[in-house]
Amino acid sequence: MLMKTASQTLAEQLAARFAQRIRDRLLAPGARLPSVRLCAQQQEVSPSTVVGAYDQLQAQGLVEARKNRGFYVREMPAMPMDRAGAAPETIAPQAGALAPAAPHRAPLNATALIRGMFTGISDKPQPGMGVLPQEWLQTTFLAPAVRRSCSVEALNAFSLQYGEPAGDLGLRRALSTRLAQLSVQAAPEQIITTVGATNALDIVSRTLLRAGDYVMVEEPGWAIEFARLDALGMRILPVPRRAEGPDLEVMARYCEVHRPKLFVSVSVLHNPTGFCLSPSSAYRVLQLANQHDFHIVEDDTYCHFAPDHATRLCALDGLQRTIYVSGFAKILAPNWRVGYMAAPPALAERLLDTKLLSTLTTPALLEKALAWCIEQGQLRRHAERIRTQLDAARARSVKLALAHGCSFAADPAGLFGWVETGVDTDALSQRMLDEGYLLAPGALFHAERQPGSLMRINFATTQEAQFWKTFARLRDEQRG
């Protein structure tokens, strides 16, 4: 609550609160501030106090007033640069497209959830986070795994020279065995370790694409992937994601009109819906890739929450047009930042060259420790425990969501739920921030800003009734 003090007026306190959220990207460029009357009601202050706060934000250049529309966070677009350092030309969508490519601007609040993980909104469980709670990830085997690699001789060997360019060979062998269990056949020579799965996705993009290229991405989809491609100057073609897979008719039209170079897919436990690809859809996606000569990046970040027999494009394709990407941040040790990709033999050297230009090598010590965790079965047993824990959490969270008037736009599965709230979740997310909760509104998961009534929840962090009581109270207030 805002409090009267001798050092700051109520208007100054309110302005400072909004200014901090804008700087932390919790209010993104283009976001609308609450109306003066609504903000006054929410903050329990007079309308003149809100006007004074908004005037201060305008004076700081953080917001702008739009006639008869309200106050908006100022747009500060940055033109992406190509490899030569020059801004790429804007490429107009060609005639006949089913939908235009998304413009060169980051989607709503794309980095807010990541910033929230580091800044700490409050000590409450955060429904919008994309990670498991820290207490879930605690193990007894990580420390011994690291100690095995920390002898004096080993530390000198790892610390005084660069590691293997493609990554620790022992880890790549262990990953090759692990992928075979998923029916993905990849020799160690086809596997390259990276600084997390996001780094792998970035290496693929920088290797296969140039500024102005068209890229198909599932929508709703991962907000950071939209923002990352946009920052590289790519033209995003959003493909609606259905329960069985991507909308194949939309993909076919894009292929005819735009000739995309890449399709990015989360085929198993899709984020945010939890959908899993059907075999028939996978087969038709691969047919399109062969017919229209584009590559597919399969992001299997959530593989440890999914059954091994789930349909994967890379398994059906045999790593010909597909590139498999995954990592361990979701299940084991986020700060180790160990990810990897498995690629067609013809692409492996090109991808490795890009890795060398960006990170040179990856930390051998942690890669060796992870290899030991995999080889000793520690990771497998840990993942089994997490899946059991997540199943129970999902059941509790779903029960609470339904009891508080929500419904699910997709059958609950995996780590995330795609929830219908009945109100504008962009506006609701700002009110929930006042209560110490960071939401993931549906607009985050679209290539262009599309405010709506959906939100993504993390089943592991939405098991407490208090969150749902607060959510329901603010939602009902918003309905008026």
Q: State the 10-residue block means of pLDDT for the chain, 480 residues long.
A: 78 90 79 89 90 92 90 66 37 41 42 63 88 93 88 75 90 97 96 96 97 96 89 95 97 97 97 97 98 98 94 97 96 93 97 94 90 95 97 98 97 97 92 90 86 94 96 92
Joined tokens for residue 434: 């006042």
Question: What does the pLDDT read at residue 23?
Answer: 82
Q: CA 435, CA 454: separation in Å to the nearest integer? A: 20
Q: Are 88 and 211 in contact (CB under 8 A)?
A: yes
* Beta carbons within 8 Å of 357's beta carbon, 6+ residues apart: none
Residues of the chain with CATH 3.90.1150.10: 112-137+381-479
Amino acid at residue number 290 = N
Question: What does the pLDDT read at residue 92?
Answer: 34
Question: What does the pLDDT read at residue 430?
Answer: 87
How far is CA 120 from each of CA 24, 241, 333, rounded to the nearest angstrom?
11, 32, 19
Helices (H), 25-111: 36-43, 47-59
Residues of the chain with CATH 3.40.640.10: 142-375
User: Omega of the bond prior to 127 within 30 degrees of 0, cis?
Assistant: no
C-alpha gyration radius of the chain:
23
**Strand-strand pairing, 322-327 and 191-195:** unpaired
- CATH class name, domain 112-137+381-479: alpha beta
* Beta carbons within 8 Å of 72's beta carbon, 6+ residues apart: 30, 31, 32, 33, 63, 64, 66
Question: What does the pLDDT read at residue 149?
Answer: 79
The domain 10-73 having CATH identifier 1.10.10.10: the answer here is yes
Question: What does the pLDDT read at residue 119?
Answer: 64
Q: CA 440, CA 271: separation in Å to the nearest integer? A: 12
The Cβ of residue 96 has, within 10 Å, a number of other Cβ atoms equal to 9
Question: What does the pLDDT read at residue 112?
Answer: 61
The architecture in CATH of the region 142-375 reads 3-Layer(aba) Sandwich (3.40)
Q: Are 429 and 439 in contact (CB under 8 A)?
A: yes
pTM (two decimals): 0.83
Q: CA 427, CA 425: separation in Å to the nearest integer? A: 5
Residues of the chain with CATH 1.10.10.10: 10-73
Question: What does the pLDDT read at residue 300?
Answer: 97
